[in-house]
Amino acid sequence: MISRREAALRLDIPLEMAQRHRLPARMSEAEFTALQSNPPGWLVQSKANRTGARPVWVQLTCDVCGFTEVARPKKWWPAFGYLSCEEHGIDELPLPADGLSRFEVDGIGSRFVGIVDRVAD
């Protein structure tokens, strides 16, 4: 059995869309395969509307311990040089290159801090 969230990940659609179109909370692999083989119109349209400009899902990976999580990217996320779990210290990551300053962005996924290195002011 796969969850609705797993189905949304595998179909590359937002979880909200899976809920709105009443995908069941749990479905068998056979049901999922049937959905892929004979997609409903809303799923066909969703895939046709994809521009590729922004991914539906991204995999976040801690650069310290390797913990991974799949999340919906937010428009406000800058390009991160590093990601780390909240419990790791910034001193566990490589130092910024000469001439760069570093800032942290909290609230990435369920437990990550994004690290951005930029030209120092």
Ordered per-residue pLDDT tens for the chain, 121 residues? 999 999 998 998 888 999 999 999 999 999 999 999 999 999 988 888 877 777 889 999 999 999 999 998 988 899 899 999 999 998 999 998 888 888 999 999 999 999 999 887 6
Residue keyed to tokens 């899976």: 18
> Would you tell me how many other CB atoms lie within 10 Å of the CB of residue 67?
17
For the chain, give every domain's residue range: 2-49, 58-119
